[in-house]
Structure 1
């Protein structure tokens, strides 16, 4: 009776502890969130990011672009259409999260209002000058002719100073949106082409663009809400157009997040089903316990996601790959443990795999770093779960323990080894040659590191390409000037010179947009400080605020560029900054913008390719050398990782495949499985343990199938990642076999009865599927 009470008490305590842990995990999972904002693609902890954030704080972030098109030229610039556009732009400006909205109707309306104020002000000042001169002349007893001459002399200087301004800035007729002459003269040249300074809102006579700049520091959910609100406002507007396109980097990020949130459960479920079927179909244990490895991987996955949830740390784009990868890798350890592999050996490969994935934390790209951290934690948690499950079910019969004649097996192994020994050494040498060539080719592999490559496969990319075609650019960069007064004559002269250099030398790569020199062009080539002050005061704050900070300590010149050529953007940045003249004393200039950050990210990813791959392999090797009792196994594992990674690079170079920010770190990914296979196969050779060798074949098959699930993603980067991982598993397995076969001669122990080691990989694989 006491025994029953004791058992019951233990069961109750176990049930309560399990329930509490499950509740904590479930609550953590429900608190987790996925963010795919632009921050997850930008290089972390880099000065270029700080410069861009400062620009966004002053003038707003990269805009959501609303492109409205018609079939007939100038249809959007009729009175009724302009008034509807004005209402739409006003609605957009009132959206939560919008820092500024720039469109043609508001631009015209602001210019018209400021022109009316200017006309009234100048007219009043001119009238005052005339009245004062007339009064003085009459008080002096002048004749009517002399009075008229005095009035003319008094206004001559005024007319000379402001006459040209009135002619250049004010079109014929009353400045209102109802005056078609005013509208046409402001927005279009006499030839009917959009004026250069307004091309960012009037790209052609058949299209207008509205730019909605988000506030700096918006969370991804708030940015997504802003994009959705923009779409809703545009959808309910009464503007008569033939085509509406909402795009821009925030819109791409919003669609990417939407697709990621859709694919996470889809790919996770597919991986769960595929991995589960592999374990169920292969007769490696009794049927009722075949899913133990999958249960351990699920537990590790759930706890990892829960940890991120409790820490309020979002999961980024990498979460799409996280679930299938961890389900595939995390199930390995329970498989080995239930097959009675030594716990120390399994602990070593689990820690090495975790360290290898953890090396991704040095990646400059946040979503790659987060993926590495999540996988590193998940692997260790999956090992712990597998250890508990293996201890609980260790007594069950193993289906691999079948009667195999000992002498026949040993004889066959010995005979085979004598025949293939020389071939194994030759194969190892051939693999080494290919691997050396692959590592040498690593710098020549191209790297794609911009947002458009990461969203390749989304319909939103087609819309972005259309906007790029109409606007002539897919992104914008900003030349920013800082100083005590960026409206000083010397600062304005430098900005004009910089703009001219950019246009004349890089006109095919960058197109001028809104800037302080463009807005103050009516002042002439050499305006005085008072003229500049008056010119700035005459500009509508709506326009001046887009490129000039209110305290006049920061000014910006925007240029449109092609976002697709990231490497070319780096060269453009370096070439332009080298050719610009030194800024005036006391001023600083910088070139920033999302395309510049993409170029910086490309450089960091490209420059660190040897480092991140080397660290991943070295971390795995260090852990193995520290934990394993046999240092030779650690050396073999590192050799396998180095060779398999090199062969993988060679294959990528041979097929002309570009690297992504994830696949550029193929070394840690290959080391994670390559080291594992090598250590377990070495142990299987020493023990002449067919069961353990077949376990390696089983987990290789399971891992490859799990990774192939990523091929179901519509995102090209995730597809490539999954295919590369699946190929790396098979490549690592073959390389591990070659290394182990060529380096373990004489290390075999006596063969346990009924457990003869398979002599060839094909025989081992046949044993798994039999």
Structure 2
């Protein structure tokens, strides 16, 4: 197959990859925090299905006498009704709807108890009310006349009516304009709202409208819903009441929106940075942009393959894409540098491409495999955020090396326009022949081991206010909730039982709620069945009759907020303050402790965005120290299986481990908090930095196999491969450094940290690997090669159009 035809086929494959990549769906924040197979994920799905998603909250700040005044209550009821009809809304729980439903339930009880007399009384009251309004009576006077007309029409049943009113706790007939009735329902005999209704009325100067979105509502739809709720609230005209709309669903969706926009922002920056790097380092060499074309192709293929693999679009994808671009450029630079070397040695384009692939292909394949193993170690964190990062980086590494080795030779041959000077070091380059003295190496090793031993002491930054982009409107909404309520997020507790209305289960829920609130005063109680039944008194004695009696009196829509329709699932919620996720984790642990000793047959699971984030942070704290050592062990095992030379494995792995240890010590000394993505710092540096040592080792051994003495081999390695290694390191470092331009702090921190560690890693590798290889040289017989699978060899030959030549051995 001719190179031109091979390139057309490659172009078609890249086009298909672009189509695949366009199908990537945004990954929700919950899916990045909770493993889909965990108990918390199952509980979250169950609660979402029964009660809706986590709430968007509208705060109404004013004295409740003003918020619930006759002039505002109608507007409030209309607002809640309009919000409930918005697309994407599962349920709305607000002050006016609550009171209106309570009134409707009271009327139902009256009809059941009084029969036809209740209907006649309602008709008489309505007629009197209309007449009073036509006569210009005040709302209070109109309500008084209507109530009197009802009593008069009831006749002998008036006494029974008054008895029912006492049983219902009502002062006067239930009505939205009956101030006495509203005060009795909300406040009882006190000056603060009743305990059981604190989730709607936190105090005497604040009311809440709680909007439960449909589960699975996407990022764009959630943000649109938030804007629509805010618009309706502002247009409602509720007098002298300050309103605010906020909630974690809006903040999570905003972060997802920022993640998607970062791809558009960072892609041109990454490509531009790579172009500039190639211009500065390769200067006027013809074909200097060929590696970038291969790199873009490898990155596109990786993005396309991530769609059928279900990796989705997330902050992990954004973090990985520039890095994959840098790695692919790194591989392509190595192939092109060797190609220029062979052309300069007198080979024609096709033979040079063949020799270049044979020379660097085995090392690149082995390096890509070892890197992928290092990246895949992140899957052991059980945190999807890092799982997806590791999986995409591994996929990108394999895709990149495949594109470079299969398409690169054909592209180099097709675009060859004559000899190009090979890469080389300037005559006075300080690195030429430089090395570290044994004492310096020993000191570095000691310091690095200390850094690795202490790396687990580096703390993780988990405060959303720090990790979110500056000026994010949705973050301000959450902060305003915190100021108004003292809480901003929600912990959801799923209680499963054969019948959650069983008195024993209800009693336990009340006691559990009391223990949790006692354990941490920063928690705020949310709606739960026990409070509705006992009025917030966890010591109250209840039986089947009392539970059923309360459930009969409560509006159905109110009961549906806390128990499922089949009565097998109940939700207990707690408001939680906006503090670091680490601190929130300690609060969630207190809730879990309070939930112990549930009745037999009852299961309890804490879930929700806050609980998921806390669990993920705890998992990162516990697994992070071992990730680097595990990655080093697995990579070392693979290299030893191929080379059968433990000393060689140590020489190649050493620089990356030294760099990781030194960097860990510096981070600890400066007390830098790592973002959640920063927890992957050391394994990433080890996996990527490994290649530098492998390339230097490869070139040294090739020189020895060609008959050079150890001194000559070291000199040739320094002269011929160090420039390519430095350029490779620069491409990968630039890929990470591009992340520094991100508006997302967790991306920008990862970018500059890894870029700096890679710079340190390549310097250590250049100074140590050639010198150690010479010092520990055991002769040319130590040279080994990695066999390339025959099908890869055949594909590469067809793509290059080189004919049937020998298989690499």
Matches within 5 A, 1:534-683: 534-578=549-593, 582-627=597-642, 632-683=647-698
Deviations 1:68-125 (A, max 9, x none): 445x764332233222222222222223332221111111111122223334445569
Contact 1:563/1:595 (8 A) holds in 2: no
Query: Which residue number in structure 1 is paired with residue 29 of structure 2?
Result: 37
Query: Which residue number in structure 1 is paired with residue 13 of structure 2?
Result: 21
Contact 2:262/2:318 (8 A) holds in 1: yes
TM-score normalised to the size of structure 2? 0.78
| Residue number among 322, 330, 333 corresponding to 2:331 in the alignment | 333
Query: Which residue number in structure 2 is paired with residue 131 of structure 1?
Result: none
Query: Which residue number in structure 2 is paired with residue 691 of structure 1?
Result: 720
Deviations 1:261-297 (A, max 9, x none): 221111111111111101112236x433112222111
Q: Distance in 1 between matches of 2:105 and 2:554?
A: 7
Change (3 A) 1:15 1:276: closer
Secondary structure of 1:509's match? coil
Q: Distance in 1 between matches of 2:25 and 2:595?
A: 45
| Residue number among 91, 100, 103 corresponding to 2:91 in the alignment | 100
Query: Which residue number in structure 2 is paired with residue 110 of structure 1?
Result: 101
Q: Distance in 2 between matches of 1:15 and 1:347?
A: 22
Matches within 5 A, 1:396-545: 397-400=419-422, 423-449=436-462, 454-457=467-470, 458-506=472-520, 508-521=521-534, 525-545=540-560
Query: Which residue number in structure 1 is paired with residue 763 of structure 2?
Result: 734
Query: Which residue number in structure 2 is paired with residue 209 of structure 1?
Result: 208
Secondary structure of 1:95's match? coil
Q: Distance in 1 between matches of 2:289 and 2:256?
A: 32
Which stretch of structure 1 is more off in the superposition, 303-312 or 464-473? 303-312
- 2:383 paired with 1:365: yes
What count of residue pairs does the alignment treat as equivalent? Answer: 700
Q: Distance in 1 between matches of 2:425 and 2:503?
A: 94
Q: Distance in 1 between matches of 2:466 and 2:558?
A: 34
Contact 2:286/2:420 (8 A) holds in 1: no
Change (3 A) 1:492 1:404: closer
Q: Distance in 2 between matches of 1:402 and 1:372?
A: 34
Query: Which residue number in structure 2 is paired with residue 719 of structure 1?
Result: 748
Contact 2:526/2:572 (8 A) holds in 1: yes
Query: Which residue number in structure 2 is paired with residue 81 of structure 1?
Result: 72
Query: Which residue number in structure 1 is paired with residue 408 of structure 2?
Result: 389
Change (3 A) 1:471 1:308: same
Query: Which residue number in structure 2 is paired with residue 349 of structure 1?
Result: 367
Deviations 1:132-152 (A, max 9, x none): xxxxxxxxxxxxxxxxxxxxx
Change (3 A) 1:167 1:647: farther
Matches within 5 A, 1:275-290: 275-283=274-282, 286-290=284-288
Change (3 A) 1:200 1:532: closer
Contact 2:67/2:241 (8 A) holds in 1: no
Contact 1:60/1:213 (8 A) holds in 2: yes
Contact 2:697/2:773 (8 A) holds in 1: yes
Deviations 1:417-472 (A, max 9, x none): 6xx6xx52222222222222222223322224576654353342222111122122
Secondary structure of 1:476's match? strand
Which stretch of structure 1 is more off in the superposition, 42-51 or 561-570? 561-570
Contact 2:247/2:477 (8 A) holds in 1: no
Q: Distance in 2 between matches of 1:404 and 1:362?
A: 45
Change (3 A) 1:404 1:94: closer
CA RMSD of aligned residues (A): 3.5
Q: Distance in 2 between matches of 1:334 and 1:16?
A: 19
Query: Which residue number in structure 2 is paired with residue 291 of structure 1?
Result: 289
Change (3 A) 1:739 1:183: farther
| Residue number among 39, 46, 53 corresponding to 1:47 in the alignment | 39
Contact 1:641/1:667 (8 A) holds in 2: no
Q: Distance in 2 between matches of 1:445 and 1:188?
A: 50
Contact 2:463/2:581 (8 A) holds in 1: yes
Query: Which residue number in structure 1 is paired with residue 261 of structure 2?
Result: 262
Which stretch of structure 1 is more off in the superposition, 395-404 or 436-445? 395-404
Change (3 A) 1:260 1:701: same
Contact 2:382/2:619 (8 A) holds in 1: yes
Q: Distance in 2 between matches of 1:502 and 1:569?
A: 14
Q: Distance in 2 between matches of 1:22 and 1:484?
A: 55
Change (3 A) 1:34 1:544: closer
Q: Distance in 1 between matches of 2:607 and 2:257?
A: 28
Query: Which residue number in structure 2 is paired with residue 378 of structure 1?
Result: 396
Structure 1 residue 64, shift from structure 2 partner: 1.7
Secondary structure of 1:246's match? strand
Change (3 A) 1:642 1:483: same
Q: Distance in 1 between matches of 2:46 and 2:423?
A: 67
Secondary structure of 2:59's match? strand
Structure 1 residue 580, shift from structure 2 partner: 5.3
For structure 2, list consecutive stretches of 5 or more residues without a partner in the other structure. Answer: 119-156, 339-358, 701-712, 780-809
